[in-house]
A and B are shown apart, each in its own frame.
Chain A
């Protein structure tokens, strides 16, 4: 059979964002894959440098619509890291509670989308229906369903009303029973198993080589979870397991996510227990951020979010660098998508739960034509860091 090229993107119903994969196929088998990202211009890092710290937190919340508390959390961690700012214990539990609720809703969202990608629309709708209580809980806590606006340097913006805790607990129970059902269904469904087992395997070595993070690497047997490795907020104070599986296929990624969701409900329950007992402020008043640099890490649903902030004593960062988990997870397609049928390759593309909007920072347009956009992202990024280093150190 002749060699063919199947374009996935720039606009393709598989993923709702703009991305471009060129699959070289031989019949139905993918022989080569070319990744081309950089179809969106966000400019968040540059905008952030013109905003005050408090505004920056709201800004980075808009980097991702799904993990919309992971970026603010990593950002406040980074800013707090500059001056070693402590946060009240109650605030730590609220942060962890919101973070874990977001993990539940993000994993359920992925589960539904994965169902849609393999043509299982019933699973899609069910997963999204069971996601509804999570959004309701977040609405009870923060007043918003998607962009919560809760994170502040030195704590959280709003306290959780003690009167709402029983209601939150009730909603959590409904999620629990549904998650048990979904976990059982995912583990026992023979059709789902035959469709996903052994598909798009990312070996342990490949996961390490590509520096994959989050559920993508944990499904391949690589331990690594910021919540366990460098516990911040209340993660050191609650009891939960790190889910690691060995096979690295799409099925294992599904299992990891489903089990993580169940762990998340455990964490949420512990947080709610503590919130009933611990009283006190939720926000330390932070007047000034000193000169220095800070690093913030947080285990987003997709993996480790990394924020770097450099300050010069004013109320705005002079450099704010964001690395989203998809940035390291997307290149793993090079290892996992070759030599498998198109049908498998496409679910593998979706299996890392990629978020292109979060990943992309800038775009290079060559007016003379010929050069594809996004090709020199890394060089541009390095050159910019170098330029800033020069201005600081003279």
Chain B
């Protein structure tokens, strides 16, 4: 039992699987983006090389920073992502629960953003603190949308909070996305995870040409390596979560494997397309968008789900 859990957490679908797949998908992202932009793009092992090279570099701890927060933030964030990936992964691949339901996942993903805020705010740099401030605002914008859209599969599956139950419902009755409310929620979910991953058009906290990577500015060496790894791991965690909630999970037999890969690639490619065809929006426009348009639309989706549409 313990050995099995350790396997889940450390190897599959936890730490090792998420990290390796994340770095590979990160490469896909970089390569496809490069092709979008008439560039050649990096070689396959670039992300791995970057990660291990950063681990070997000097880690500078800023004198004025709050040390324990500065150091633990990327590691806690990493831990959160591993736990989420284990929960989502065991439900998807083994169809068994891992002692947590969708509310726990919501919490853990929010903790991730909070860690970005802590890391940025603790470094004592003006760019970082502005970036952390923007991250707070962005979190206020996208969090409500994200919670509301997860309500749609919960309601449709008869108010089930367990991931496996939601999956079971979709095996029986077809994917959530097939319904109108599910489709609206899926589209909003894509946009919300774009903001949660701070990808364009919502890379407002990190805004390279404004805030010089914002919260991550003072990070270097191993700690930066973990932030980068976290970023790539989100390319695994969020698409898998969307597949679980809206696309009916995986059937890992025969053609099902192909479908599984296609579902995953569909979401990743959608993310990359949105990323490459949009400029960075201002933080107030982002909030405007989330509060004025996305949140009411998410409410509509929830009401439609209650009505059974």
Q: How large is the interface on B (under 10, 10 to 19, 20 to 34, 35 or more residues)?
A: 20 to 34
Whether the Cβ atoms of B212 and A12 lie closer than 8 Å is yes
Whether the Cβ atoms of A120 and B278 lie closer than 8 Å is yes
State whether the Cβ of A54 lies closer than 8 Å to any Cβ in chain B: no
State whether the Cβ of B49 lies closer than 8 Å to any Cβ in chain A: no
A residues in contact with B281, CB < 8 Å? 191, 194-195
Q: Which of B246-282 contact A (CB under 8 A)?
A: 276-282
State whether the Cβ of A383 lies closer than 8 Å to any Cβ in chain B: no
A119-B37 contact given A13-B212, A346-B209, A346-B210, CB 8 Å threshold: no
Whether the Cβ atoms of A7 and B126 lie closer than 8 Å is yes
A122-B126 contact given A343-B210, A343-B280, CB 8 Å threshold: no
Complex: how many Å from CA A291 to CA B139?
70
Whether the Cβ atoms of B285 and A125 lie closer than 8 Å is no
Complex: how many Å from CA A4 to CA B133?
13
Q: Which of B216-243 contact A (CB under 8 A)?
A: none
B35 to chain A, nearest CB (A): 10
State whether the Cβ of A14 lies closer than 8 Å to any Cβ in chain B: yes
Whether the Cβ atoms of B126 and A119 lie closer than 8 Å is no
The residue in B203, B209, B279, B282 that gathers the most chain A C-beta atoms within 10 A of its C-beta is: B279
A14-B38 contact given A28-B283, A191-B279, A192-B279, CB 8 Å threshold: no
The residue in A5, A7, A126, A195 that gathers the most chain B C-beta atoms within 10 A of its C-beta is: A195
Interface residues as binary, B18-42 with A (CB distance below 8 Å gives 1, 0 otherwise): 0000000000000001001111000
The residue in A12, A125, A341, A343 that gathers the most chain B C-beta atoms within 10 A of its C-beta is: A343
Complex: how many Å from CA A287 to CA B104?
86
Whether the Cβ atoms of A118 and B208 lie closer than 8 Å is no
Whether the Cβ atoms of A343 and B207 lie closer than 8 Å is yes
State whether the Cβ of A83 lies closer than 8 Å to any Cβ in chain B: no
B residues in contact with A4, CB < 8 Å? 126, 129-130
Interface residues as binary, A2-15 with B (CB distance below 8 Å gives 1, 0 otherwise): 00111100001110
State whether the Cβ of A117 lies closer than 8 Å to any Cβ in chain B: yes
A80 to chain B, nearest CB (A): 42
Whether the Cβ atoms of B210 and A125 lie closer than 8 Å is no
Whether the Cβ atoms of B38 and A126 lie closer than 8 Å is yes
Interface residues as binary, A92-126 with B (CB distance below 8 Å gives 1, 0 otherwise): 00000000000000000000000111111111111
A122-B282 contact given A6-B127, A191-B201, A342-B130, CB 8 Å threshold: no
State whether the Cβ of B200 lies closer than 8 Å to any Cβ in chain A: yes
Whether the Cβ atoms of A119 and B283 lie closer than 8 Å is no
B137 to chain A, nearest CB (A): 9
Chain A interface, number of residues (Cβ within 8 angstroms): 32
Provide the main secondary structure of the chain A interface.
helix
Q: Which of A6, A25, A195 contacts B282 (CB 8 A)?
A: A195
Whether the Cβ atoms of A120 and B280 lie closer than 8 Å is yes
A residues in contact with B284, CB < 8 Å? 28, 341
Whether the Cβ atoms of B285 and A194 lie closer than 8 Å is yes
Q: Which of B127, B207, B211, B282 contacts A344 (CB 8 A)?
A: B282
Whether the Cβ atoms of A119 and B130 lie closer than 8 Å is no
Whether the Cβ atoms of B208 and A13 lie closer than 8 Å is yes
Complex: how many Å from CA A244 to CA B215?
41
Q: Which of B127, B211, B279 contacts A120 (CB 8 A)?
A: B279
State whether the Cβ of A50 lies closer than 8 Å to any Cβ in chain B: no
Complex: how many Å from CA A27 to CA B129?
11
Whether the Cβ atoms of A125 and B209 lie closer than 8 Å is no
A residues in contact with B38, CB < 8 Å? 125-126, 129
B residues in contact with A124, CB < 8 Å? 37
B39 to chain A, nearest CB (A): 6
Whether the Cβ atoms of B279 and A123 lie closer than 8 Å is yes
Complex: how many Å from CA A121 to CA B209?
11
Complex: how many Å from CA A31 to CA B127?
17
Complex: how many Å from CA A12 to CA B213?
11
Q: Which of B124-168 contact A (CB under 8 A)?
A: 126-127, 129-130, 133-134
B53 to chain A, nearest CB (A): 21
A residues in contact with B278, CB < 8 Å? 120, 191
A118-B39 contact given A6-B126, A12-B212, A346-B210, CB 8 Å threshold: no
Q: Which of A1-49 contact B (CB under 8 A)?
A: 4-7, 12-14, 25, 27-28
A residues in contact with B204, CB < 8 Å? 343
Whether the Cβ atoms of B201 and A119 lie closer than 8 Å is yes
A–B pairs, 13, beta carbons within 8 Å: A5-B126, A6-B126, A13-B212, A118-B209, A118-B280, A119-B201, A119-B208, A120-B200, A124-B37, A125-B38, A342-B130, A343-B210, A346-B210
Q: Across chains A and B, which 6 residue pairs bring their CB atoms closest together, nearest first?
A: A119-B280, A125-B37, A120-B279, A118-B279, A117-B209, A122-B276
